[in-house]
């Protein structure tokens, strides 16, 4: 019997590829390319900015996102311990999708669906599935085989070394991010006030216990200080974006599901998540590169990183994405929760320090060059002065030798010049 809650969730992770991907090999392995057709993109461009759509459904991974989906369509049952209780969860793994991105970044998502009798089942299922450390344990065997093993095969094909541990499937972090939609029946929600629905949304977004007060129940203070990530435009559904989750709680809104999954997840969330992990990767590489100072090869590496980031900022970042307010509102909430602006500011700060260091190094080189030129000019001037004095009075007649005459007069002039420079320097310093 179907439950009161239709639950659809995407478990998302990422890694960085080291090899070029082989489209033929992917397709022979059961992956189907899934980008929109030109006609579908043209329709989307009436709602979203053209450059955003071109990025989200690109024909080349150098220009944007190229998608490959592997259909699964298998039911899985896991029995796991959640918060000290042994729980049995039946659910469907519908498909697995790869998002091949610029800058060698690979994102992926596992789509799971669940007809739940209560919201605790929704929260507990994702609480159990998002921790990748547990995937190789016995309770997760079926889930691992149908959902994770295809990703592992792609990982091995795109890396120089095969996967040793499932934790490597998320290169920064300890768990998969979650985008989830929970469609509730009106009868299950009609007794709740707006404030109770709001609290419920926070619990679902943090995968906390719904019916019982637990150690991980979110506080009232946290709920009131994160309003920027809360989207409440319609009475029929609300959304909350967090650093590791995006949750939509709806009442009898199944007609909206395709829009949420195709546009809010498939375009807005995936593009924002790519920005987040790519900026994090840039920040890490800059910090590591800047630890080594004065190395010529390292300086070239930093220069390469700067050029790569400039290309990323030019082609992969969008200040606004839509002509309509709601997609832009969703995008702003996701960007805020993923702290994309913070990552960008940190990167600008690191680059500004490197630019200052490079300018200082260039200034020192220029000063050294100018000093060398000044010495050459000084020696030339001393030589010319000696030649002039030799014309006025023969060095040979006064010093017995032109050779010694040039050197004695030259040294006298040099001492005078140095004395004048020292006097001017001390005067400038106030000595």
**Domain boundaries of the chain, sorted by first residue:** 278-361, 393-431
Res 293 pLDDT > 70: no
> Sign of torsion, CA 42 45 51 55?
negative
Positions of E strands within 53-171: 66-82, 85-100, 105-116
DSSP 175: B
Radius of gyration of the chain from its Cα atoms, rounded to whole angstroms: 33
pTM above 0.85, yes or no: no
**Which whole number is the average pLDDT over 102-107?**
96
From first CA to last CA, the distance across the chain in angstroms is: 95
Least confident of 48-62, 215-229, 318-332: 215-229
In angstroms, the CA 269 to CA 297 distance is: 37
Give the span between the Cα atoms of 104 and 159, in whole angstroms: 11
Highest mean pLDDT among 254-263, 375-384, 420-429: 254-263
Q: Any idea what the Cα angle at residue 311 is, between residues 31 and 348, rounded to 5°?
A: 120
Specify the DSSP class assigned to residue 185: -
Mean pLDDT value of segment 82-102: 92
- Taking alpha carbons only, the member of 141, 122, 140, 100 closest to residue 16 is 100
What does 367-401 look like in DSSP terms, one character per residue?
Answer: HHHHHHHHHHHHHHHHHHHHHHHHHHS-HHHHHS-
Of all residues in the chain, what percent carry a pLDDT higher than 90? Answer: 53
């Amino acid at each position: 019997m179907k439950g009161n809650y239709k639950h659809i969730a995407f478990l998302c992770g990422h890694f960085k590829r080291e090899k070029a991907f082989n489209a033929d090999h992917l397709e022979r392995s059961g992956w189907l390319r899934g980008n929109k057709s030109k006609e579908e993109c043209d329709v989307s461009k009436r709602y979203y900015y053209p450059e955003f759509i071109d990025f989200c459904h690109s024909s080349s991974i150098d220009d944007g996102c190229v998608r490959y989906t592997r259909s699964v369509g298998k039911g899985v049952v896991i029995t796991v311990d959640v918060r000290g209780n042994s729980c049995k969860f039946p659910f469907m793994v519908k498909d697995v999708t790869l998002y091949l991105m610029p800058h060698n970044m690979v994102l992926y998502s596992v789509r799971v669906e669940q007809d739940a009798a209560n919201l605790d089942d929704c929260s507990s299922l994702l609480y159990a599935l998002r921790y990748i450390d547990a995937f190789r344990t016995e309770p997760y065997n079926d889930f691992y085989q149908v959902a994770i093993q295809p990703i592992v095969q792609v990982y091995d094909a795109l890396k120089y070394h095969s996967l040793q541990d499932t934790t490597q499937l998320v290169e920064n972090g300890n768990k998969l991010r979650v985008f989830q939609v929970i469609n509730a029946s009106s009868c299950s929600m009609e007794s709740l006030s707006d404030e109770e629905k709001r609290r419920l949304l926070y619990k679902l977004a943090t995968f906390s216990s719904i019916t019982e007060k637990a150690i991980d129940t979110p506080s009232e203070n946290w709920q009131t200080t994160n309003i920027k990530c809360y989207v409440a435009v319609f009475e029929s559904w609300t959304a909350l974006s967090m650093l590791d989750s995006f949750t939509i709680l709806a009442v009898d809104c199944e007609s909206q599901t395709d829009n949420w999954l195709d546009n809010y997840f498939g375009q807005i969330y995936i593009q924002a998540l790519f920005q987040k992990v790519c900026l994090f990767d840039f920040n890490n590489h800059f910090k590591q590169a800047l630890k080594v100072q004065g190395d010529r090869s390292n300086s070239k590496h930093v220069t390469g990183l700067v050029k790569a980031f400039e290309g990323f900022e030019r082609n992969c970042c969008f200040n606004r994405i839509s002509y309509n307010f709601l997609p832009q509102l969703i995008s702003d909430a996701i960007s805020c929760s993923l702290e994309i602006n913070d990552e960008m500011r940190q990167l600008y700060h690191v680059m500004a320090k490197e630019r200052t260091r490079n300018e200082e190094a260039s200034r020192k080189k220029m000063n050294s060059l100018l000093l060398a030129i000044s010495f050459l000019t000084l020696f030339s001037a001393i030589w010319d002065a000696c030649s002039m004095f030799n014309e006025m009075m023969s060095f040979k007649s006064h010093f017995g030798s032109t050779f010694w005459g040039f050197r004695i007069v030259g040294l006298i002039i040099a001492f005078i010049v140095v004395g004048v420079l020292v006097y001017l320097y001390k005067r400038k310093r106030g000595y």
